[in-house]
């Protein structure tokens, strides 16, 4: 499978269409990697038993004049990043059924490829401003990591795969980005860019970002134009900006142990006094 010489490190990166993939930010990371590096399909998870076809519908298309039906399925790619690094990429719709068996199938392939670390990617909608770096959450498990999982609530297949991988002894890292809910379901290259940049930091390797920085800049420009033409939305975004900046200042103060906490509290109280509340 690999050229002569030392065997490359193999990591697994997984992303899933659907509930876990706001604006396709996570799955576009896999598509970016597949399109920019030599890639080979090395495995699939069969469709039967995992998908509700009224939710994840098959697609009909014409290939050289012949009808083809493409069924929902998960595809694994061996992506050759360098002589020292390969990525086993998992891409497919979130399954509707059989999540535990689906995860077991995924991990069997990870074991076959001797994967050293599993990274799951996700994206969610949130109230966050497009004019600031998008919020990121990183959870590391295994490898001696002692990081409590504070989130409580509904989860998707990336969380279940993380938990199953951790039980099987894999080191795992979960990376999630939040994207502005007020912009709707358009693609968000800024989210994909930040996921890739964070993945770069985690694996200590500079992956090819392609034209993502340019697309992200265009996305921010379009979003700013949209808000400028909508006074209510512009006001809403300014409130999100203020809240974001306050949170960032609070983090900086907490990290530095600065005595300026009282000043921050005063600013927060002033903001709350000026915040418009709906009258009953």
Task: Give the residues across from 109 on adjacent strands.
Answer: none
Q: Does pLDDT of 279 surpass 50?
A: no
- Could you tell me which residue, 271 or 123, shows the higher pLDDT? 123
Residue 90 token pair: 């998992």
pLDDT over 70 percentage in the chain: 85
Residues 90 and 76 sit within 8 Å (Cβ to Cβ)? yes
- Span 103-139, pLDDT tens digits: 999 999 999 999 999 999 999 999 999 999 999 999 9
Whole-prediction pTM value?
0.86
Q: How many CB atoms lie within 10 A of CB 173?
A: 23
Grouping H, G, I as helix, E, B as strand and the rest as coil, residue 262 is helix
Residue-level pLDDT at 150:
63
Average pLDDT over residues 94-108: 95
- Could you tell me which residue, 180 or 262, shows the higher pLDDT? 180
At residue 193 the predicted structure's pLDDT band, cuts being 50, 70 and 90, is very high
At residue 27 the predicted structure's pLDDT band, cuts being 50, 70 and 90, is very high
Q: Does pLDDT of 161 surpass 70?
A: yes
Angle at Cα 177 formed by Cα 171 and Cα 182, nearest 5°?
160
Residue 2 token pair: 């690999």
Q: Does pLDDT of 56 surpass 60?
A: yes
d(Cα 162, Cα 103) in Å, to the nearest integer?
9
């Amino acid at each position: 499978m690999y050229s002569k010489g030392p065997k490359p490190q193999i990591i697994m990166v997984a992303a899933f269409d659907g509930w876990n993939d706001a604006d396709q930010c996570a799955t576009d990371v896999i598509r970016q990697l597949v399109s920019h590096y030599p890639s080979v399909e090395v495995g699939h998870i069969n469709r039967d038993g995992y998908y509700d076809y009224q939710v994840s519908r098959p697609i009909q298309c014409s290939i050289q004049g012949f009808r083809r039906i493409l069924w929902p399925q998960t595809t694994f790619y061996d992506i050759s990043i360098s002589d020292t690094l390969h990525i086993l990429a998992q891409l497919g719709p979130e399954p509707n059924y059989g999540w535990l068996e689906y995860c077991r199938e995924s991990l069997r392939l990870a074991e076959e490829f001797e994967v050293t670390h599993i990274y799951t990617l996700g994206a969610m909608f949130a109230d966050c401003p497009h004019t600031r770096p998008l919020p990121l959450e990183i959870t590391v498990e295994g490898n001696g990591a002692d990081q409590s999982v504070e989130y409580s609530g509904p989860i998707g297949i990336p969380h279940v795969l993380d938990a199953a991988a951790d039980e099987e002894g894999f080191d795992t890292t979960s990376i999630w980005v939040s994207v502005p809910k007020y912009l709707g379901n358009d693609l968000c290259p800024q989210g994909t860019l930040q996921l890739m940049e964070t993945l770069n930091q985690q694996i200590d390797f500079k992956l090819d970002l392609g034209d993502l920085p340019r697309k992200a800049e265009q996305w921010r420009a379009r979003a700013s134009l949209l808000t400028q033409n909508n006074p209510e939305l512009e006001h809403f975004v300014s409130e999100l900006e203020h809240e974001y900046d306050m949170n960032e200042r609070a983090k900086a103060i907490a990290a530095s142990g600065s005595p300026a906490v009282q000043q921050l509290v005063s600013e927060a109280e002033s903001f709350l006094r000026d915040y418009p509340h709906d009258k009953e």
